[in-house]
């Protein structure tokens, strides 16, 4: 079923709507084009983030740094003199 009812599947069913309000249909078309342009602009803004979100970070780190690069964290120590008053 393509339309809103079985009757809407008949050829030319929606023609009366378009023929009775061509200016309104044109406005809807122009508005839709503007919205799709805005949507494409938003896609460009977030394209880099989407690409980053599709990367397996563990695999990427293994490729760049080697498989054991993150296997063991380095010990962290703070010199005692940093705590003196």
pLDDT > 50? residue 1 = no
Q: What is the mean pLDDT of residues 17-35?
A: 93
Question: What is the predicted pLDDT for the residue at 76?
Answer: 65
- Residue spans of the domains in the chain: they are 13-70
Contact 8, 14 (CB under 8 A): yes
In this predicted model, what pLDDT tens digit does every residue of 30-80 receive, in sequence order?
999 999 999 999 988 888 777 777 878 788 877 877 766 555 566 666 666
Distance of alpha carbon 35 from alpha carbon 15, whole angstroms: 25
Contact 25, 18 (CB under 8 A): yes
Closest CA relative to residue 25, chosen from 15, 12, 39, 13: 15
Residue with tokens 């397996």, as numbered in its chain:
56
Polymer length in residues for the chain: 85
In this predicted model, what pLDDT tens digit does every residue of 6-17 receive, in sequence order?
777 777 778 888
Question: What is the predicted pLDDT for the residue at 17?
Answer: 84
């Amino acid at each position: 079923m393509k339309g809103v009812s079985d009757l809407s599947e008949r050829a030319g069913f929606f023609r009366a709507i378009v023929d009775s309000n061509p200016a309104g249909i044109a406005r809807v078309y122009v508005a839709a084009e503007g919205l799709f342009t805005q949507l494409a602009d938003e896609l460009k803004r977030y394209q880099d983030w989407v690409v980053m979100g599709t990367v397996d970070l563990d695999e990427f780190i293994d490729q760049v740094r080697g498989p054991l690069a993150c296997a063991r964290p380095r010990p962290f120590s703070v010199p005692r003199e940093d705590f003196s008053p």
